[in-house]
Structures are given as structure tokens and as C-alpha cells.
Amino acid sequence: MNARASFGLGNLLLFLACGCGSDENQAAARPARTDGGAADDGGLDAAPDAAPDLNLLRSPREAEDLDPDPNVVHVRLVAAPATHTIGEQQIPGFAYNGQTPGPTLRAKVGDLLRIDFENQLDEATTIHWHGANVPYAMDGVTWQTNPIEPGATFTYSFKLTHAGTFWYHPHFNSNGQVDRGLYGVLVVEDPAEPAIDDLIVVFDVWGEGDGPSGHVAAGAAMDAGGHEPTPGSAAQPQWTVNGLIGPRAVLRGGSAVRVRLLNVSTRSYLDLRWPRIRQIGSDQGLLPALAEPAAIVLAPGDRAEAEWLLGDQGFDVETAPYSLNGGAAQGPLAKALSVEVTEAAAAATAPDWPFSGRAPTPDRGTTDIVYVFTGDPYTNDWRINGEQFPNVTVEELKLNADAVIEVRNSSPTEHPFHLHGHAFEVLSVDGVAPQMRTFEDTFNVGIRGRVRVRLLADNPGDWMAHCHILDHADHGMMTVLRVLSP
């Protein structure tokens, strides 16, 4: 772990005001839990005999860095079966290092990240570094390469070239393996940004993919098939936050927190609301300026960053109903988590983010590649340009091409478009340029929508381009974009 990482979230949290030392060390000394340590506050209560607060929100426990070199982060990850405790239920699944979310990997731009990975599952797997734009051989895909078999090991090793909130997950049987609990967060920090504490908030819905059948999301929230509520139904998916249902984040008044929000669900959307949202980042790090949207929609795979300037008031973070079958809908908001303030104080002042202030690139109007997304939720037949992965036409771009891709959604559901190996700038959504220059790697395309994006093809390889509704991807909605070698 580099020096910055040792800040952790600890000094913000009430229970650490009691002088218990590093939260990472505290967590590491106790047996692994599959909730990522989010509820693991044993011994941290002010009163020694008090029952531990099992619904206290904490960032997922960080991975131990095995390399003393400040520019190298070396971590061991093991994927293995695990039992998840979600609410009252015990759910069989998988985890990295016995915790879900898996260990947070924290590094800075320019660091070498090395992961010694071991597959202790009884099925093959890989790890994909979503958003981090790694060299092709490290991308964790199984296009013309084999996955990592049960009992086998693999070393992932690559340089981190840019800052942002990324995540890692299998890219083999993804819909089942991610849903069973295989995912974790990769934070790449930029030392030029203010080093304030962050809170990592990972949203998931259990039992929505082809994962465990005895799932918490059943009953009120889901139909019998474990899928999204049917269109028009008032039911909403049951969200968990770092493995907890409706947890409390207890934070100190007068502090500023960088909140990193991730939607790792395989098919459910978030439409997040809280009073006076101050959004500072999206998939690929800082926005060019502060945004103050009324809501933040996170499609599966999406991330956003916000700042909380805490004073003397708590608040709830809620999500409005939003379904891939019809976008935003009328209906009650559901509470995702609550923020409680301790040691009320004057509200923190906003950190001085090095916003670039740059305007969006104008769309020059030419198009290099068109992807038409089609499919049918009743047959679960999903295609890009009429083809189903892996039987696809490989589109090619020259190295360093400045290319425009147009994604057209001709289907009756929404699809978050995700590209490997490259970030892209959004040029327009349904013909309208964005208000702000944004770099993304996952971007939702609404029903019958049309999104134009621009990328600099500077990373040679065969890159997956797909829908991040993992059931759609596993049923064919994935293609390959080849960036040629020099």
C-alpha cells in the first residue's frame, strides 16, 4: 500500500474517534467475512459490552501490499467458494480472499500493479480490470485465450496509466460469477488531487444473474425467475451496499469525503438522490467541473464520484425506480443508505479539485464504426450488428486512430455499452452534445437511443465491446474491436 492509502477512512468514522488505530489492521486481525469487513466493527464500540453495530457502512477492507517499493503494489488474490451473509440469509457463493466486495486495491498513477491470482473455484475464471485500460494480455478475456482453470494460478502485472475508480471481476461465465460475489474495487489515485478521505460504496443486488437460487432479492423485489421486476410492477430490486442492507455511514461533521459509487449489479440500475448532489467524477476520474445534477443514474458497471461536505445534518441516499425494461418509472424511492453526522460542525469547505474546465469536443460528424444493438427479452437472443459473440466480425482501427463509434439501440431494453482497453469521450446522446466533457468506459444507451463516442485507439489488442447487462453479454451481445499493432 502506498503512503496515501494508510489514511483510509478511519479518522472520519465515529468508532475510530475512540482511538482504536488503523481500521485496516483491525479488520485484518479478525477472520475474513464475506461482507468485506463492512460490518466488522467488533471491539470498536465506545462501550466494550455493547453489541457490535452490524449495519455500519465502511469501505471494503484493503488488500495488503506485499512489496515495500512505493511504486509497486503487489497483492495476492484467491477466488474461492464462500458463504455470504446478506441480511438474515446465508447465501452460498464465491469471494476474493473471503470477502465481498473483494479487497480494495489502492495505487497511484504510474504504479506497477502485480496480482498473484489463484483459482480455488471448481470452475474456470479470469480477472478483468474494468476501466483500467491494461495491455491486452492482462485484460482477462477469453477471446482466443484460455481461462484460468480450477487450481491454476496466473500473474497479472501492468502499469496504471490514469486515475479513476475502477473495478475487477471475472470475464468468464461473468453473469454467474459476478452475481455470486466475485468483484472488488481498484482505486487509482492522482497525487495532484487533494488527498482527502474516501468512502467506497459498492451497490449490488443479490440473486439477479444466474447466481444462487435461494436469494435475498426474491419475494417482494423480484419475480420467481430472480429477474428484474416486470415492467409496471412497483417492486424494486433489493440493493445491498458493501454487502449490507440499508446501512448507516457515521461521519464526522466538518469533514469532506470523496465518495466513490459503483454499481456492480449484473442487470439493475440505480437512480441515486440525496440533497444537493455535488458530483466530481464519473467512470474515468474527475469531471472537468463540478456538476450538481438532481440525480445520478448508474447503469450496471458504471461509477461516479461525489463530495459530501458534512456539517450538522445527516441525510439519506435513495434510489428511484429504474428498470432496463423502461428506464425511469414512477414509484416510491427506496432508501439505499443513511448518513449520520457526529460531532456537528460548520459544513466542510469544498476541496480544491484540479478540474480541467475543458469543453466537450465538437462532433465532426463522421463515423468509423456503427454498432446496432438488437434483441428480445422474451427469447433472450441478443446481438450486435446481427451477430452473436464469439461469431463476430472483427472491426479494425489503426493504432492511434482518432475514431468515432456510434451505438444504436434498436431493442426494447436499455443497454450499458462498455469498451475494453480505452476510455471514450461522449460526443452526443440522441443527437445532443453533453453539457460537460465526459470520459467513460461504460455508458447507457436508452431504448431506441443513439450515442456517439470518440476514442483515441492507442492500445493495441482485440478489445471486447459489449453490453454490461451480463446476461445480455453472455447471450451474445458482445463483439471485438481490434486496434492494430504498429
Locus of grid cell 453533453: 434
By the rule CB under 6 A, 415 interacts with ligand C2O: no
The option from ligand C2O, Cu ion, none interacting with 74 (CB < 5 to 8 A, set by class) reads none
The option from ligand C2O, Cu ion, none interacting with 205 (CB < 5 to 8 A, set by class) reads none
Q: What distances in angstroms separate CA 195 from CA 63, 80, 111, 256, one per listed residue? A: 19, 34, 17, 11
Q: Which three three-digit cell numbers place residue 187?
A: 482505486
Is the Cβ of residue 113 or residue 464 nearer to ligand C2O in the bound state? 464
Tell me the sheet residues that pair with 203.
241, 263
CB of 299 to ligand C2O, least distance (A): 11
Segment near ligand C2O (CB under 6 A); pick from 232-240, 254-262, 288-296, 460-468: 460-468
CB of 473 to ligand C2O, least distance (A): 7
Give the total residue count for the chain: 486
The interface mask with ligand C2O, positions 103-142, x = CB under 6 A, is -------------------------x-x------------
Q: Which three three-digit cell numbers place residue 175?
A: 453473469
* Residue 212: alpha-carbon gap to chain centroid: 21
Q: Measured between alpha carbons, how far apart are the two ends of the chain, in Å?
A: 35
The interface mask with ligand C2O, positions 226-265, x = CB under 6 A, is ----------------------------------------
Using an 8 Å Cβ cutoff, are 239 and 270 in contact? yes
Segment near ligand C2O (CB under 6 A); pick from 26-34, 51-59, 251-259, 463-471: 463-471
Q: What distances in angstroms separate CA 356 from CA 235, 281, 353, 426, 437, one per listed residue? A: 41, 12, 9, 16, 10
CB of 13 to ligand C2O, least distance (A): 30
Number of shown-chain residues binding ligand C2O (CB under 6 A): 10
Q: Which of 332, 407, 328, 404 is nearest to 366 (CA)?
A: 404
Task: Specify the 3-state DSSP secondary structure of 308.
Answer: strand
Q: How far apart are CA 60 and CA 201, in angstroms?
A: 8
By the rule CB under 6 A, 418 interacts with ligand C2O: yes
Segment near Cu ion (CB under 5 A); pick from 179-187, 227-235, 297-305, 459-467: 459-467
Sign of the torsion angle spanned by Cα atoms 428, 429, 432, 436: negative
By the rule CB under 5 A, 227 interacts with Cu ion: no
By the rule CB under 5 A, 384 interacts with Cu ion: no
Which of the residues 136 through 175 are near ligand C2O (CB under 6 A)? 169, 171
The option from ligand C2O, Cu ion, none interacting with 469 (CB < 5 to 8 A, set by class) reads Cu ion
Using an 8 Å Cβ cutoff, are 314 and 219 in contact? no
By the rule CB under 6 A, 464 interacts with ligand C2O: yes
The counts of H helices and E strands in the chain are: 3, 32
By the rule CB under 6 A, 472 interacts with ligand C2O: no
Q: How far apart are CA 22 and CA 28, in angstroms?
A: 10
Using an 8 Å Cβ cutoff, are 199 and 258 in contact? yes
By the rule CB under 5 A, 469 interacts with Cu ion: yes
Segment near ligand C2O (CB under 6 A); pick from 91-99, 246-254, 308-316, 461-469: 461-469
The option from ligand C2O, Cu ion, none interacting with 418 (CB < 5 to 8 A, set by class) reads ligand C2O
Q: How far apart are CA 68 and CA 65, in angstroms?
A: 8
By the rule CB under 6 A, 480 interacts with ligand C2O: no
Q: Which three three-digit cell numbers place residue 260?
A: 466513490
By the rule CB under 6 A, 58 interacts with ligand C2O: no
Q: What distances in angstroms separate CA 295 from CA 185, 240, 333, 432, one per listed residue? A: 23, 19, 12, 19
Is the Cβ of residue 26 or residue 479 nearer to ligand C2O in the bound state? 479
Q: Which of 211, 210, 182, 196 is nearest to 251 (CA)?
A: 196
Segment near ligand C2O (CB under 6 A); pick from 50-58, 188-196, 409-417, 464-472: 464-472
Q: What string of DSSP letters covers 239-254?
A: EEETTBSS-EEEEETT
Is the Cβ of residue 108 or residue 418 nearer to ligand C2O in the bound state? 418
Q: Which of 179, 233, 266 is nearest to 468 (CA)?
A: 266
The interface mask with Cu ion, positions 404-433, x = CB under 5 A, is -----------x------------------
The residues that touch ligand C2O, with contacts defined as CB under 6 A, are 128, 130, 169, 171, 301, 418, 420, 464, 466, 468
The residues that touch Cu ion, with contacts defined as CB under 5 A, are 415, 467, 469, 472
